[in-house]
């Protein structure tokens, strides 16, 4: 069996990366990263890492601190030491007791597709903001307005 360490991209402790990191294989972040990470494989944010980035990957394991959105196409795992400030979208989520986070969470097969389409059509943000403002005064349980997805509301507003 191939040694997986050979093709794992590692940002070591003390290293600093700024920009877009696009990978085919797995990555391990132990240092400081600012920007975005995109991978089809597994991205591990290690304990002690300082990750100020949007991470989109097949599997994401967070054992450290992340400020940014996380999109896991397969699985997102937060260990008991994880600290996340950002929105989470994942096909499956596993959170260990002790993990701390603040942000919106969507988990399930449709959550990832919704997050990806939201990312790719970012210019629509103006309509989205307007819709958020309108529903903020309403009841979130009010199905007819607040549970409409943003794209529908943007279409209504147009």
- The contact set with another protein (CB under 8 A) reads 75, 83, 88, 92-108, 111, 139-141
What is the closest distance, in whole angstroms, from the C-beta atom of residue 125 to another protein in the complex?
18
Q: How far apart are CA 100 and CA 96, in angstroms?
A: 10
CA 53 to mean position of chain CA atoms = 9
What is the closest distance, in whole angstroms, from the C-beta atom of residue 93 to another protein in the complex?
5
In terms of CB distance, is 12 or 108 closer to another protein? 108
In terms of CB distance, is 1 or 141 closer to another protein? 141
CA 146 vs CA 121, 127, 131, 133, 139: distances in Å? 20, 14, 9, 11, 7
What is the closest distance, in whole angstroms, from the C-beta atom of residue 107 to another protein in the complex?
4
- Among 30, 24, 26, 34, CA closest to 11: 30
In terms of CB distance, is 23 or 105 closer to another protein? 105
What is the closest distance, in whole angstroms, from the C-beta atom of residue 94 to another protein in the complex?
5
- Among 88, 94, 23, 80, CA closest to 33: 23
In terms of CB distance, is 17 or 101 closer to another protein? 101
């Amino acid at each position: 069996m191939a040694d997986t360490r050979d093709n794992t991209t590692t940002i070591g402790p003390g290293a600093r990366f700024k920009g877009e990191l696009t990978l085919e294989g797995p990555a391990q972040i132990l240092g400081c990263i600012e920007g975005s990470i995109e991978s089809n494989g597994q991205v591990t944010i290690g304990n002690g890492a300082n990750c100020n980035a949007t991470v989109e990957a097949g599997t994401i394991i967070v054992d450290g601190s992340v400020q940014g959105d996380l999109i896991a196409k397969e699985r997102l795992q937060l260990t008991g030491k994880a600290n996340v400030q950002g929105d989470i979208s994942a096909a499956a989520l596993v959170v260990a007791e002790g993990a701390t986070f603040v942000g919106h969470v969507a988990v399930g097969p449709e959550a990832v597709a919704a997050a990806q389409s939201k990312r790719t059509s970012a210019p629509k943000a103006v309509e989205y903001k307007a819709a958020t403002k309108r529903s903020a005064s309403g009841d979130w349980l009010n199905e007819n307005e607040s549970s409409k997805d943003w794209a529908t509301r943007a279409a209504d507003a147009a």
